[in-house]
Protein backbone atom coordinates (compact mmCIF):
# COMPACT_ATOMS: atom_id res chain seq x y z
CA UNK A 1 0.00 0.00 0.00
CA UNK A 2 1.43 3.39 -0.98
CA UNK A 3 2.27 5.85 1.76
CA UNK A 4 1.27 9.44 1.31
CA UNK A 5 -0.66 12.36 2.71
CA UNK A 6 -3.42 11.90 5.29
CA UNK A 7 -7.06 12.18 4.32
CA UNK A 8 -7.83 15.64 2.96
CA UNK A 9 -4.16 16.48 2.30
CA UNK A 10 -3.09 16.37 -1.32
CA UNK A 11 0.25 14.97 -2.44
CA UNK A 12 2.42 17.50 -4.25
CA UNK A 13 3.50 16.00 -7.57
CA UNK A 14 6.39 17.68 -9.35
CA UNK A 15 5.88 17.15 -13.07
CA UNK A 16 9.29 17.67 -14.65
CA UNK A 17 9.45 18.11 -18.41
CA UNK A 18 11.38 19.64 -21.30
CA UNK A 19 15.02 18.69 -20.95
CA UNK A 20 18.21 19.07 -22.94
CA UNK A 21 17.55 16.42 -25.59
CA UNK A 22 16.18 16.70 -29.11
CA UNK A 23 12.89 15.34 -27.73
CA UNK A 24 12.38 18.51 -25.67
CA UNK A 25 9.20 19.58 -27.46
CA UNK A 26 7.60 16.13 -27.31
CA UNK A 27 8.20 16.16 -23.56
CA UNK A 28 6.14 19.36 -23.25
CA UNK A 29 3.23 17.69 -25.00
CA UNK A 30 3.59 14.62 -22.77
CA UNK A 31 3.62 16.77 -19.64
CA UNK A 32 0.42 18.46 -20.75
CA UNK A 33 -1.32 15.08 -20.98
CA UNK A 34 -0.07 14.01 -17.53
CA UNK A 35 -1.15 17.28 -15.90
CA UNK A 36 -4.58 17.09 -17.54
CA UNK A 37 -4.94 13.50 -16.29
CA UNK A 38 -3.99 14.12 -12.63
CA UNK A 39 -6.67 13.30 -10.08
CA UNK A 40 -7.07 16.72 -8.46
CA UNK A 41 -8.76 15.22 -5.43
CA UNK A 42 -5.52 13.42 -4.58
CA UNK A 43 -2.73 15.39 -6.23
CA UNK A 44 -1.51 18.97 -6.53
CA UNK A 45 0.80 19.57 -9.50
CA UNK A 46 4.01 21.57 -9.32
CA UNK A 47 5.38 22.21 -12.80
CA UNK A 48 9.09 22.31 -13.51
CA UNK A 49 10.38 22.83 -17.04
CA UNK A 50 14.01 22.15 -17.92
CA UNK A 51 15.21 24.33 -20.77
CA UNK A 52 17.72 23.26 -23.41
CA UNK A 53 20.59 24.80 -21.46
CA UNK A 54 19.66 22.73 -18.38
CA UNK A 55 17.99 25.43 -16.24
CA UNK A 56 15.09 24.28 -14.07
CA UNK A 57 12.25 26.81 -14.34
CA UNK A 58 8.98 26.95 -12.38
CA UNK A 59 6.18 26.90 -14.96
CA UNK A 60 2.56 28.03 -14.79
CA UNK A 61 -0.09 25.41 -15.41
CA UNK A 62 -2.23 27.73 -17.52
CA UNK A 63 0.72 28.45 -19.81
CA UNK A 64 1.42 24.75 -20.38
CA UNK A 65 -2.21 23.77 -20.95
CA UNK A 66 -2.83 26.73 -23.23
CA UNK A 67 -0.19 25.78 -25.79
CA UNK A 68 -0.77 24.17 -29.17
CA UNK A 69 -0.49 20.41 -29.60
CA UNK A 70 2.01 20.79 -32.44
CA UNK A 71 5.62 20.13 -31.29
CA UNK A 72 6.83 22.90 -33.63
CA UNK A 73 4.83 25.50 -31.71
CA UNK A 74 5.40 24.66 -28.03
CA UNK A 75 7.95 26.29 -25.74
CA UNK A 76 8.79 26.81 -22.08
CA UNK A 77 8.30 30.15 -20.38
CA UNK A 78 11.95 31.17 -20.44
CA UNK A 79 11.30 34.13 -18.14
CA UNK A 80 9.94 31.94 -15.33
CA UNK A 81 11.82 31.88 -11.99
CA UNK A 82 14.56 29.31 -11.61
CA UNK A 83 14.08 26.31 -9.34
CA UNK A 84 16.38 23.69 -7.91
CA UNK A 85 15.86 20.38 -6.16
CA UNK A 86 18.01 19.74 -3.11
CA UNK A 87 20.08 16.56 -3.81
CA UNK A 88 19.51 15.17 -0.31
CA UNK A 89 16.47 14.02 1.68
CA UNK A 90 14.30 16.66 3.30
CA UNK A 91 12.83 16.29 6.76
CA UNK A 92 9.17 15.19 6.82
CA UNK A 93 6.67 18.01 7.26
CA UNK A 94 5.41 17.07 10.72
CA UNK A 95 3.47 20.31 11.10
CA UNK A 96 1.39 19.44 8.04
CA UNK A 97 0.76 15.96 9.36
CA UNK A 98 2.34 14.16 6.41
CA UNK A 99 2.74 10.43 6.86
CA UNK A 100 5.28 10.15 4.06
CA UNK A 101 8.95 10.39 4.96
CA UNK A 102 10.01 11.01 1.39
CA UNK A 103 9.46 14.73 0.95
CA UNK A 104 12.00 16.68 -1.06
CA UNK A 105 12.78 20.38 -1.04
CA UNK A 106 12.30 22.45 -4.16
CA UNK A 107 13.70 25.97 -3.97
CA UNK A 108 12.03 28.48 -6.30
CA UNK A 109 13.85 31.79 -6.64
CA UNK A 110 11.67 34.52 -5.16
CA UNK A 111 9.14 32.10 -3.69
CA UNK A 112 11.18 30.13 -1.17
CA UNK A 113 11.21 26.42 -0.46
CA UNK A 114 8.37 24.06 -1.33
CA UNK A 115 7.91 20.44 -0.29
CA UNK A 116 7.57 17.80 -2.99
CA UNK A 117 6.16 14.34 -2.26
CA UNK A 118 6.73 12.59 -5.59
CA UNK A 119 8.22 13.44 -8.97
CA UNK A 120 6.82 12.50 -12.38
CA UNK A 121 9.79 13.01 -14.73
CA UNK A 122 8.04 13.23 -18.10
CA UNK A 123 11.41 13.50 -19.86
CA UNK A 124 12.33 11.84 -23.12
CA UNK A 125 15.84 11.17 -24.38
CA UNK A 126 19.31 11.87 -22.92
CA UNK A 127 19.67 13.98 -19.79
CA UNK A 128 16.25 12.90 -18.60
CA UNK A 129 15.15 9.41 -19.56
CA UNK A 130 18.63 7.87 -19.43
CA UNK A 131 19.19 7.55 -15.68
CA UNK A 132 20.72 11.00 -15.09
CA UNK A 133 17.66 12.63 -13.54
CA UNK A 134 16.73 9.31 -11.92
CA UNK A 135 20.11 9.39 -10.16
CA UNK A 136 19.45 12.88 -8.83
CA UNK A 137 16.02 11.86 -7.57
CA UNK A 138 17.48 8.76 -5.92
CA UNK A 139 20.04 10.93 -4.13
CA UNK A 140 17.26 13.26 -3.01
CA UNK A 141 15.40 10.19 -1.69
CA UNK A 142 12.15 11.33 -3.28
CA UNK A 143 9.76 8.88 -4.98
CA UNK A 144 9.67 9.14 -8.75
CA UNK A 145 7.68 7.53 -11.52
CA UNK A 146 9.35 5.05 -13.85
CA UNK A 147 12.45 2.91 -14.02
CA UNK A 148 15.43 3.48 -11.78
CA UNK A 149 18.96 4.42 -12.79
CA UNK A 150 19.87 1.04 -14.29
CA UNK A 151 16.66 0.37 -16.19
CA UNK A 152 16.54 3.91 -17.51
CA UNK A 153 20.15 3.83 -18.68
CA UNK A 154 20.01 0.51 -20.53
CA UNK A 155 16.58 1.32 -21.91
CA UNK A 156 17.94 4.47 -23.52
CA UNK A 157 21.08 2.99 -25.09
CA UNK A 158 19.94 0.91 -28.07
CA UNK A 159 23.31 -0.84 -28.32
CA UNK A 160 23.47 -2.01 -24.69
CA UNK A 161 19.73 -2.75 -24.72
CA UNK A 162 20.00 -5.05 -27.72
CA UNK A 163 23.00 -6.88 -26.26
CA UNK A 164 21.06 -7.56 -23.05
CA UNK A 165 18.01 -8.71 -24.99
CA UNK A 166 20.19 -11.03 -27.08
CA UNK A 167 21.83 -12.46 -23.97
CA UNK A 168 18.38 -13.04 -22.46
CA UNK A 169 17.46 -15.15 -25.48
CA UNK A 170 14.91 -12.69 -26.83
CA UNK A 171 14.60 -12.37 -30.63
CA UNK A 172 16.16 -9.22 -32.13
CA UNK A 173 17.12 -8.07 -35.63
CA UNK A 174 20.87 -8.26 -36.38
CA UNK A 175 22.57 -4.92 -35.74
CA UNK A 176 25.87 -3.10 -36.07
CA UNK A 177 27.08 -0.48 -33.59
CA UNK A 178 29.34 2.32 -34.77
CA UNK A 179 31.22 4.94 -32.77
CA UNK A 180 32.25 8.28 -34.15
CA UNK A 181 36.08 7.74 -34.21
CA UNK A 182 35.76 4.76 -36.55
CA UNK A 183 33.30 6.59 -38.80
CA UNK A 184 35.66 9.55 -39.04
CA UNK A 185 38.61 7.26 -39.75
CA UNK A 186 37.17 4.71 -42.20
CA UNK A 187 33.96 6.01 -43.79
CA UNK A 188 34.29 4.08 -47.06
CA UNK A 189 34.96 0.73 -45.36
CA UNK A 190 32.07 1.28 -42.95
CA UNK A 191 29.67 2.07 -45.78
CA UNK A 192 30.73 -1.18 -47.48
CA UNK A 193 29.89 -3.09 -44.28
CA UNK A 194 26.49 -1.44 -43.99
CA UNK A 195 25.68 -2.18 -47.64
CA UNK A 196 26.50 -5.82 -46.94
CA UNK A 197 24.31 -5.72 -43.82
CA UNK A 198 21.36 -4.59 -45.93
CA UNK A 199 21.92 -7.34 -48.53
CA UNK A 200 20.64 -5.11 -51.29
CA UNK A 201 17.74 -3.77 -49.24
CA UNK A 202 17.39 -0.80 -46.91
CA UNK A 203 19.13 -0.28 -43.60
CA UNK A 204 17.88 1.89 -40.76
CA UNK A 205 20.42 4.20 -39.15
CA UNK A 206 19.66 5.45 -35.64
CA UNK A 207 21.34 7.47 -32.88
CA UNK A 208 21.92 5.02 -30.04
CA UNK A 209 20.51 7.33 -27.37
CA UNK A 210 17.41 9.05 -28.69
CA UNK A 211 13.74 8.26 -29.16
CA UNK A 212 10.73 9.63 -31.06
CA UNK A 213 12.56 8.60 -34.25
CA UNK A 214 14.75 11.71 -34.00
CA UNK A 215 17.77 11.37 -36.32
CA UNK A 216 16.56 8.05 -37.78
CA UNK A 217 16.89 7.44 -41.53
CA UNK A 218 16.07 4.74 -44.03
CA UNK A 219 18.94 4.31 -46.49
CA UNK A 220 19.70 2.08 -49.48
CA UNK A 221 22.50 3.59 -51.60
CA UNK A 222 26.05 4.47 -50.59
CA UNK A 223 25.23 8.16 -50.61
CA UNK A 224 22.09 7.67 -48.54
CA UNK A 225 23.93 5.54 -45.97
CA UNK A 226 26.70 8.12 -45.62
CA UNK A 227 24.18 10.95 -45.22
CA UNK A 228 22.14 8.91 -42.71
CA UNK A 229 25.21 8.18 -40.61
CA UNK A 230 26.23 11.84 -40.63
CA UNK A 231 22.75 12.82 -39.48
CA UNK A 232 22.67 10.21 -36.70
CA UNK A 233 26.16 11.23 -35.52
CA UNK A 234 24.98 14.84 -35.29
CA UNK A 235 22.77 13.68 -32.38
CA UNK A 236 24.97 11.05 -30.71
CA UNK A 237 28.54 9.72 -30.64
CA UNK A 238 27.26 6.16 -31.09
CA UNK A 239 24.80 4.89 -33.68
CA UNK A 240 23.04 1.60 -34.39
CA UNK A 241 22.35 0.24 -37.88
CA UNK A 242 19.88 -2.55 -38.68
CA UNK A 243 18.72 -4.21 -41.88
CA UNK A 244 15.11 -3.75 -42.94
CA UNK A 245 12.68 -6.56 -42.13
CA UNK A 246 10.84 -8.09 -45.08
CA UNK A 247 7.07 -7.63 -44.89
CA UNK A 248 7.50 -5.48 -41.79
CA UNK A 249 4.59 -4.73 -39.47
CA UNK A 250 5.19 -2.56 -36.39
CA UNK A 251 3.54 -3.77 -33.18
CA UNK A 252 3.55 -2.10 -29.77
CA UNK A 253 2.65 -3.30 -26.30
CA UNK A 254 2.41 -1.26 -23.08
CA UNK A 255 3.60 -2.65 -19.75
CA UNK A 256 2.41 -1.29 -16.41
CA UNK A 257 3.45 -2.34 -12.92
CA UNK A 258 6.22 -3.24 -10.53
CA UNK A 259 6.95 -6.76 -9.32
CA UNK A 260 3.90 -8.18 -11.13
CA UNK A 261 3.50 -6.04 -14.26
CA UNK A 262 0.69 -6.42 -16.75
CA UNK A 263 0.83 -6.22 -20.54
CA UNK A 264 -1.76 -4.28 -22.52
CA UNK A 265 -3.59 -5.15 -25.69
CA UNK A 266 -1.28 -5.02 -28.68
CA UNK A 267 -1.43 -2.10 -31.13
CA UNK A 268 -0.15 -1.69 -34.65
CA UNK A 269 1.31 1.26 -36.54
CA UNK A 270 0.50 1.55 -40.24
CA UNK A 271 2.68 4.18 -41.91
CA UNK A 272 1.49 6.17 -44.92
CA UNK A 273 4.06 9.00 -44.74
CA UNK A 274 6.48 9.38 -47.70
CA UNK A 275 9.43 8.61 -45.39
CA UNK A 276 8.32 4.98 -45.61
CA UNK A 277 8.74 4.30 -41.88
CA UNK A 278 7.50 5.61 -38.54
CA UNK A 279 9.63 8.74 -38.63
CA UNK A 280 9.41 11.86 -36.44
CA UNK A 281 7.37 13.58 -39.17
CA UNK A 282 5.00 10.62 -39.47
CA UNK A 283 4.51 10.58 -35.70
CA UNK A 284 4.15 14.21 -34.78
CA UNK A 285 3.98 16.54 -37.79
CA UNK A 286 1.90 14.91 -40.53
CA UNK A 287 -1.54 14.18 -39.07
CA UNK A 288 -2.08 11.68 -41.89
CA UNK A 289 1.41 10.17 -41.67
CA UNK A 290 0.40 7.05 -39.79
CA UNK A 291 -2.64 5.15 -38.60
CA UNK A 292 -2.80 3.35 -35.28
CA UNK A 293 -4.83 0.20 -34.81
CA UNK A 294 -5.78 -0.81 -31.28
CA UNK A 295 -6.05 -3.72 -31.03
CA UNK A 296 -3.78 -4.91 -33.81
CA UNK A 297 -5.15 -7.18 -36.50
CA UNK A 298 -3.46 -10.33 -35.25
CA UNK A 299 -4.74 -13.58 -33.78
CA UNK A 300 -5.33 -14.06 -30.07
CA UNK A 301 -2.44 -16.53 -29.97
CA UNK A 302 -0.08 -14.06 -31.60
CA UNK A 303 -1.21 -11.26 -29.31
CA UNK A 304 -0.47 -13.46 -26.29
CA UNK A 305 3.00 -14.17 -27.73
CA UNK A 306 3.67 -10.44 -28.14
CA UNK A 307 2.54 -9.81 -24.56
CA UNK A 308 4.89 -12.52 -23.25
CA UNK A 309 7.79 -10.97 -25.18
CA UNK A 310 6.93 -7.52 -23.82
CA UNK A 311 6.89 -8.75 -20.22
CA UNK A 312 10.14 -10.66 -20.71
CA UNK A 313 11.75 -7.52 -22.17
CA UNK A 314 10.53 -5.45 -19.21
CA UNK A 315 12.10 -7.93 -16.81
CA UNK A 316 15.37 -8.41 -18.72
CA UNK A 317 16.05 -4.67 -18.84
CA UNK A 318 15.23 -4.02 -15.14
CA UNK A 319 12.29 -1.73 -15.98
CA UNK A 320 9.80 -0.51 -13.41
CA UNK A 321 6.47 1.25 -13.47
CA UNK A 322 5.95 1.64 -17.18
CA UNK A 323 7.42 0.91 -20.57
CA UNK A 324 6.30 0.59 -24.15
CA UNK A 325 7.85 -2.35 -25.96
CA UNK A 326 8.08 -2.03 -29.74
CA UNK A 327 8.30 -5.14 -31.89
CA UNK A 328 8.62 -6.05 -35.57
CA UNK A 329 6.54 -8.74 -37.23
CA UNK A 330 8.16 -10.10 -40.39
CA UNK A 331 6.18 -11.27 -43.39
CA UNK A 332 6.78 -14.89 -42.36
CA UNK A 333 5.27 -14.22 -38.92
CA UNK A 334 8.55 -14.06 -37.00
CA UNK A 335 8.55 -11.57 -34.11
CA UNK A 336 11.51 -9.41 -33.10
CA UNK A 337 11.86 -7.06 -30.14
CA UNK A 338 12.92 -3.70 -31.53
CA UNK A 339 13.32 -1.54 -28.43
CA UNK A 340 11.83 -0.42 -25.14
CA UNK A 341 10.82 3.10 -24.15
CA UNK A 342 11.05 3.55 -20.39
CA UNK A 343 9.25 6.92 -20.50
CA UNK A 344 7.11 6.58 -23.62
CA UNK A 345 5.25 9.48 -25.14
CA UNK A 346 2.19 10.71 -23.27
CA UNK A 347 0.89 13.04 -25.95
CA UNK A 348 -2.74 13.03 -27.06
CA UNK A 349 -1.80 10.72 -29.96
CA UNK A 350 0.72 8.51 -28.14
CA UNK A 351 0.32 4.75 -28.18
CA UNK A 352 1.13 4.08 -24.52
CA UNK A 353 -2.00 5.68 -23.03
CA UNK A 354 -4.08 4.44 -25.98
CA UNK A 355 -2.99 0.85 -25.37
CA UNK A 356 -3.79 1.03 -21.65
CA UNK A 357 -7.15 2.66 -22.34
CA UNK A 358 -8.00 -0.22 -24.70
CA UNK A 359 -7.07 -2.55 -21.82
CA UNK A 360 -9.46 -0.88 -19.40
CA UNK A 361 -7.08 1.60 -17.75
CA UNK A 362 -8.10 5.20 -18.47
CA UNK A 363 -5.80 8.20 -18.34
CA UNK A 364 -6.64 9.31 -14.80
CA UNK A 365 -6.33 5.80 -13.40
CA UNK A 366 -3.09 5.26 -15.32
CA UNK A 367 -1.40 8.38 -13.94
CA UNK A 368 -2.63 7.59 -10.41
CA UNK A 369 -1.34 4.02 -10.58
CA UNK A 370 2.07 5.20 -11.78
CA UNK A 371 2.35 7.62 -8.86
CA UNK A 372 1.21 4.93 -6.41
CA UNK A 373 3.86 2.56 -7.77
CA UNK A 374 6.51 5.24 -7.19
CA UNK A 375 5.38 5.66 -3.58
CA UNK A 376 5.32 1.90 -2.97
CA UNK A 377 8.87 1.49 -4.32
CA UNK A 378 10.11 4.35 -2.14
CA UNK A 379 8.51 2.81 0.93
CA UNK A 380 10.13 -0.55 0.14
CA UNK A 381 13.54 1.11 -0.24
CA UNK A 382 13.12 2.70 3.18
CA UNK A 383 12.96 -0.77 4.71
CA UNK A 384 16.41 -1.69 3.40
CA UNK A 385 19.39 -1.52 5.76
CA UNK A 386 21.98 1.19 5.13
CA UNK A 387 24.45 0.11 7.79
CA UNK A 388 25.88 -3.16 9.06
216 and 167 co-located in one domain: no
Residue 304: CATH number of its domain:
3.30.470.20
Decide if 17 contacts 48 (C-beta within 8 A). Answer: yes
166 and 184 co-located in one domain: no
Decide if 308 contacts 315 (C-beta within 8 A). Answer: no
The residue segments making up the domain with residue 77 are: 11-145
DSSP annotation string for 315-355? HHTT--EEEEEEEEE-TTS-EEEEEEESS---STT-HHHHH
Question: Which is nearest to 245 in space by CA: 267, 283, 276?
Answer: 276
Question: Which is nearest to 219 in space by CA: 158, 181, 275, 174?
Answer: 275
Decide if 158 contacts 133 (C-beta within 8 A). Answer: no
Distance CA 166, CA 338 (A): 11
Which carries the bigger pLDDT value, residue 149 or residue 113?
149
* Coil/strand/helix, residue 60: coil
163 and 262 co-located in one domain: yes
For the chain, what is the domain count? 3
Decide if 289 contacts 281 (C-beta within 8 A). Answer: yes
Domain boundary among 243, 278, 295: 243
Q: How many residues does the chain have?
A: 388
Q: Is the pTM of the predicted complex or chain greater than 0.85?
A: yes
Question: Which is nearest to 121 in space by CA: 371, 372, 376?
Answer: 371
Distance CA 166, CA 64 (A): 41
The CA dihedral of 124, 126, 131, 135, to the nearest 10 degrees, is: -100
Kindly give the residue spans of alpha helices, DSSP state H, lying in 102-210: 132-140, 149-156, 158-167, 180-185, 187-198
Q: What is the pLDDT of residue 280?
A: 63
Q: What is the pLDDT of residue 278?
A: 63
pLDDT tens-digit readout, 193-238 = 999 999 999 999 999 987 757 889 999 999 999 999 999 999 999 9
23 and 85 co-located in one domain: yes
Which pLDDT band, with edges at 50, 70 and 90, does 386 fall under?
confident
Amino acid sequence: MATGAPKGKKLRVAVVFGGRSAEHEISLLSARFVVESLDRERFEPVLIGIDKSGRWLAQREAALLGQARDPRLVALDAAAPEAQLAPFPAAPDAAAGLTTTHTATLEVIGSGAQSIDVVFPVLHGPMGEDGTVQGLLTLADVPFVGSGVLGSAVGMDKDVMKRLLRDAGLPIVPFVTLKRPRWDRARAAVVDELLALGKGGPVFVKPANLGSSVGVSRAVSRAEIAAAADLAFSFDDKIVVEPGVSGLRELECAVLGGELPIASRVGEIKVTHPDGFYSYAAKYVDEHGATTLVPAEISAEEEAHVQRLALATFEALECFGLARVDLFRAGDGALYVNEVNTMPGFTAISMYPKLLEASGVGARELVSRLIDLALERAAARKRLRTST
